[in-house]
Amino acid sequence: MGRVTKAIDALGRSVLYSVEEMGRIVLLFISVLGWMFRPPLRLRLIFKQMEFVGVRSIFVVVLTGMFTGMVMALQGYHGFRMFSAEGMVGATVALGMTRELGPVLTSLMVTARAGSAMAAEIGTMKVTEQVDALYVMAANPIQYLIVPRVIAGVIMVPFLTIISDFVGIVGGYFVGVGLLNINSGIFMKNITKMVELSDIFNGLVKAACFGLILSLVGCYKGFHATGGAEGVGRATTEAVVLASITILISDYFLTALMF
Amino acid sequence: MIELIDVHKSFGKHRVLTGLNLSIEDGKTTVIIGLSGGGKSVLLKHIIGLMKPERGQVLVDGVDMTRLNDRELNEIRKKFGMLFQEAALFDSMTVGENVAFPLREHARLKEKEIREIVSDCLRAVGLSGTEKKMPSELSGGMRKRVGLARAIALRPQIVLFDEPTTGLDPVMTEAINQLIMETQEEFRLTCVVISHDLQSIFRIGHRIAMLYEGGIIAQGTPEDIRASRDPVIKQFLAGSIEGPIRIM
């Protein structure tokens, strides 16, 4: 009986902790919104973060987008060939990339690259009192550190998703038309017939939401890091895990709402 | 004038400040001494509003820091400079950018004027020409001096020092003490210094206050403290393990 009670106790604790943490992240978001519209507008910092989150993630996003499109074409080809519907490969790749894989894979890659860096950088600043130094010098750390990162996340993840969508379809074209001899005209026609502007647009809205999640979680975990190097390491790992899980779960609900 | 009145603060079950009362005079250096982990840094963070007490008042020139919102706190913090224990320099910025930071944030000066003030501040701490260096290229003592240059860049009225000489060799300790005294005199600063380096305490302090078990048990001039018959102060100054202070 004691063991069962303990297990229920532990479960309850972890549920309570998770709910509390979600609440604190939402409070941070409200605070970020409040500071976003107060002067000074820190354009230099925003551009610096946009470069870090966006420009420096292009290579990994191109690589993952390209190979995802290629493998989708390969898998799709083998499936559609059974019904002699190889021409549908292009539309499948394009729909899959724009609606789902483009935004999700891009955000997961940016989480791994930039979300972790946000947690590590802010976490290090927290444990070495640099965050306190900002407070002391009357520069609010939420405005100085978190707002530029959140803006960069919300703007740049959709841009990266556009790139991912495009190279994914190019990869699919290369495998489908180039290697598997699908008719180029049919491949392209099915894409234009099946893919609507709303598919692309909804995918980008999702990407913006994921950009918000990964930057907010990364900053939150860094901002609450304690206990030196070990604490920063823990914050970084937790940021990647929590952001990735939240992205995948919210993806389901966003999809259910949009499509 | 800084006054702490009946300040209470605890972390979980650990009561750190238990009804602390302290007055800090303008234009003087007040050193707060006490055991490691005894709440000295917590006290300092209350003075600048980085922490809020559960009960009590922290008055800076008559304004209660505990009742201010973020914007009002930011305004009053412009009166302060602070040197952190490990200097807390922004490691993504050069030395020059670090010292210029408070000026760029609050002073509305031209870039040329900022450069001149930065250069003056670095000269005052004996580090002329280090503007382009990164904090990671500096030694512990140099980092603290840059931290001091940054703390005084906006010409604050009050400067807080969190263990300014901890971890430094005797020569650098003396150099930092000298610097604190010179800066205090030159700008007529109100300095609050946390330290348990006995040599420094008596060298730089106009007034000394001893924090023990959550409250100030004695305060006075260095002579008063030296002459104190309080067994806790006597044990602390003698560095003895025999006495009323319980070693954790």
pLDDT digits 0-9 by tens, B184-218: 998 899 999 998 888 889 989 999 999 999 999 99
pLDDT of residue B248 exceeding 70? no
Right CATH number for B1-79+157-248 from 3.40.50.80, 3.40.50.300, 3.40.1440.10, 3.30.200.20? 3.40.50.300
**Percent of chain A at pLDDT above 70?**
100
Cβ-based contacts of A137 with chain B (< 8 Å): 77, 101-102, 105, 150
For A227: left if phi > 0, alpha if psi spans -120 to 50, otherwise beta; the answer is left
pLDDT digits 0-9 by tens, A214-234: 999 999 999 999 999 999 999
Give the per-residue pLDDT at A143. 94
Phi, psi angle pair for A31, to nearest 5°: -65, -40
Cβ-based contacts of A133 with chain B (< 8 Å): 82, 84, 88, 90
* C-alpha angle B140-B144-B145 in degrees, rounded to nearest 5: 120
Give the per-residue pLDDT at B33. 93
What dihedral angle (degrees, nearest 10) is formed by the CA atoms of B113, B119, B120, B124?
A: 160
Closest-CA distance, A133 to chain B, in angstroms, reads 7
DSSP percent split of chain B into helix, strand, coil, nearest 5: 40, 25, 35
User: How far apart, in whole angstroms, are the C-alpha atoms of residue A155 and residue A140?
Assistant: 22
* C-alpha angle A229-A232-A233 in degrees, rounded to nearest 5: 85
**Percent of chain B at pLDDT above 70?**
99
Give the per-residue pLDDT at A147. 97
Helix axes A197-223, A228-258, angle to 10 degrees: 160
Give the per-residue pLDDT at B160. 95
Residue for token pair 């001893």: B210
Q: A40 falls in which pLDDT band (50, 70, 90)? A: confident
Residues in chain B whose beta carbon is closer than 8 A to a beta carbon of chain A? 45, 48-50, 70, 73-75, 77-78, 80-82, 84-86, 88-92, 101-102, 105-106, 150
Average confidence score pLDDT of chain B: 91
Q: A63 falls in which pLDDT band (50, 70, 90)? A: very high
Q: Which amino acid is at A186?
A: I
B210 strand-pairing partners: B33, B218
pLDDT of residue A1 exceeding 70? no
pLDDT digits 0-9 by tens, B7-45: 999 998 899 999 999 999 999 999 999 988 889 999 999
Helices (H), chain B: 40-47, 70-77, 95-106, 111-124, 140-152, 170-187, 198-204, 222-226, 231-238
Give the per-residue pLDDT at B167. 80
pLDDT digits 0-9 by tens, B63-76: 999 999 888 998 89
Among the listed residues A200, A132, A235, A258, the one whose alpha carbon sits nearest the alpha carbon of residue B48: A132
Do the chains contact at A130 and B85, CB–CB below 8 Å?
A: no
Helix (H, G, I), strand (E, B), or coil: what is residue B166?
Answer: coil
Do the chains contact at B82 and A130, CB–CB below 8 Å?
A: no
User: How far apart, in whole angstroms, are the C-alpha atoms of residue B117 and residue B133?
Assistant: 17
Element (H, E) at B34: strand B29-34
- Partner-chain residue, chosen from B45, B74, B84, that has the shortest CB–CB distance to A133: B84
Q: Does A136 touch chain B (CB under 8 A)?
A: yes
Instruction: Taking residues B34-62, report their average pLDDT.
Output: 92
Closest-CA distance, A128 to chain B, in angstroms, reads 6
pTM equals 0.89
pLDDT of residue A97 exceeding 80? yes
Q: Which amino acid is at B86?
A: E
- Partner-chain residue, chosen from B50, B70, B91, that has the shortest CB–CB distance to A132: B50
Among the listed residues B39, B43, B61, B63, the one whose alpha carbon sits nearest the alpha carbon of residue B52: B43
ipTM of the complex: 0.89
Strand order in the sheet with B14-24: B14-24, B2-11, B55-60, B63-64
Distance from the first to the final alpha carbon of chain A:
47
- Which residues of chain B are in CATH 3.40.50.300 domains? 1-79+157-248
Q: Which amino acid is at B174?
A: E
pLDDT of residue A53 exceeding 90? yes
Instruction: Taking residues A30-47, report their average pLDDT.
Output: 92
A17 exposed, middle or buried (CB, 10 Å; 0-12, 13-18, 19+)?
exposed
Q: Does A34 touch chain B (CB under 8 A)?
A: no
User: Do residues B118 and B96 lie in contact, with contact meaning Cβ atoms separated by under 8 Å?
Assistant: yes
Average confidence score pLDDT of chain A: 95
Q: How many CB pairs below 8 Å do chains A and B form together?
A: 49
pLDDT of residue B124 exceeding 90? no
pLDDT of residue B105 exceeding 70? yes
pLDDT of residue A240 exceeding 90? yes
Helix (H, G, I), strand (E, B), or coil: what is residue B31?
Answer: strand
Q: Does A133 touch chain B (CB under 8 A)?
A: yes
Cis before A40 (ω within 30): yes
User: How far apart, in whole angstroms, are the C-alpha atoms of residue B160 and residue B4?
Assistant: 15
Residue A108 vs residue B240, higher pLDDT: A108
Cβ-based contacts of B101 with chain A (< 8 Å): 137, 139
pLDDT digits 0-9 by tens, B147-169: 999 999 998 999 999 998 888 88
pLDDT of residue A175 exceeding 90? yes
- Partner-chain residue, chosen from A130, A132, A139, that has the shortest CB–CB distance to B105: A139
pLDDT digits 0-9 by tens, A101-156: 999 999 999 999 999 999 999 999 999 999 999 999 999 999 999 999 999 999 99
CB under 8 Å to B125, separation ≥6 — which residues? B145, B146, B148, B149, B179
**Percent of chain B at pLDDT above 90?**
67
B32 strand-pairing partners: B194, B209
User: How far apart, in whole angstroms, are the C-alpha atoms of residue B66 and residue B196?
Assistant: 28
Give the per-residue pLDDT at A94. 96
